[in-house]
Amino acid sequence: LKKGYAFHEHEMVDKQTNAELVDRLGLREYLLDRFAIAGSPEECRQKIEDMNSFGVENLRIAAHVHDKPAFIRAWGREIISRIK
């Protein structure tokens, strides 16, 4: 992964080099499970609730999307406001 990673494309929404590398190496599910909150709103809420049960109290959200304000509104409405 390190050898083939395109660091100049890190966190760039429209670039696929690193995503393709992760898929080619069969690491997508591992990396998503270990480092991401992703999926449907229900899956995201569950992941956050699971993390909270392990003592996690704060998150840093790095949203690599085109429309960040819309993402933040949806995240608040669909995820944060519904966490138990």
- pLDDT tens per residue, range 27-74: 999 999 999 999 999 999 999 999 999 999 999 988 889 899 999 999
CA dihedral 31, 32, 34, 40 (to 10 degrees): 180
pLDDT for the residue 14? 84
Report the alpha-carbon distance of residue 61 to residue 41 in Å, rounded: 15
The pLDDT assigned to 84 comes to: 76
Calculate mean pLDDT across residues 74-80: 95
